[in-house]
Amino acid sequence: MTDTGSPARPRILVANDDGIFSPGIKALAFALQGVGDVVVAAPDVEQSAVGHGITIRRPLRFKHTAAAGFGDIPAYRVDGTPADCVVLATHLLGRPDLVVSGINLGSNLGDDLTHSGTVAAAFEGLALGVPSVAFSQQSGTDGEYDFAPGAAYAARLVAEVLARGLPPRVLLNVNFPRTPPRGVRVTRVGEHRWEDTLVTRQDPEGREYHWVAGTSTAADADDDTTDYGAVHAGLISVTPVRLDLTARDLLAEVGGYVPGV
């Protein structure tokens, strides 16, 4: 009888939007080593809130780096967006079995999903036909993060996703509370959003410049069936998110008033 050897370990691509030097991506990559063969591809500088941007107007550089502190894990830095990182790594290194993004410095809840670079990296994996999971952690009140509990849970969840798979065009958006979690809740996307404000000032030459700021709001903050409510109740929030944005319940209604040509 021929010995076929051990089964191949799953290939896991880890990306983020905080940059390759972020402690969150290091914690995640090291935790996933026990689950599969990990490779890291991340922006060379912070790319928070860039959304699902793809760079098409200039060339991109994809450089192996040993200076980022990943030890034996192959790590590459990209002078582009989180989505760029997933595209380049998939084409240059081979198709992974799973794309994992994070752990982000700060939560990604509610409307954050529309501009989050962390979630965008997972969306790009999904667009390439690869199961994907995004991980984020609520900011600590003192600006400090303890990634150990989240990274350990991420490894357990990733093992389940690799074993069971995900439905087509569905990713998981996972958020950890700032304190040690007291449980896990499968949630829906809540109503968390930012009330934008514009701060206008003048530079030394008298020319106006503007800062976009905002205040976090959530009408359903006390509802722990939502992502925001669960995290603020000290729970890990796991939200299945579908790439299909069609409002199917409105197809007939809109069809009733759209004018013909």
Q: What is the pLDDT of residue 5?
A: 60
Asked if residue 153 belongs to a domain, the reply is yes
* CATH classification at residue 49: 3.40.1210.10
**In this structure, what DSSP letter does residue 10 have?**
P
In a domain, 251, yes or no: no
Query: What is the pLDDT, as a whole number, of residue 49?
Result: 78
With a CB cutoff of 8 Å and minimum separation 6, the contacts of 89 are: 13, 15, 39, 41, 62, 76, 96
Residue 36 domain flag: yes
DSSP string for residues in 198-212: EEEEE-TTS-EEEEE
Cα separation values, 152 from 1, 27, 37, 135, 184, Å: 39, 9, 16, 12, 14
Q: Which residues of the chain are under the pLDDT cut of 70?
A: 1-6
In-domain check, residue 184: yes
Q: How far is Cα 91 from Cα 109, in angstroms, rounded to an integer?
A: 30
Predicted confidence at residue 191, as pLDDT, reads 85
Q: Which of 51, 160, 43 has its CA nearest to residue 108?
A: 51
In a domain, 126, yes or no: yes
Tokens linked to 259? 């004018």
Tell me how far apart the alpha carbons of residues 107 and 190 are, in angstroms, rounded to a whole number. Answer: 13
Domain that residue 235 falls in: 11-192+220-243
Q: How many domains does the chain have?
A: 1
252 part of a folded domain: no
Q: Is 261 within a domain? A: no
Q: Is residue 256 included in any domain, yes or no?
A: no
Q: What span, in angstroms and rounded, lies between the C-alpha atoms of 14 and 22? A: 12
pTM: 0.91
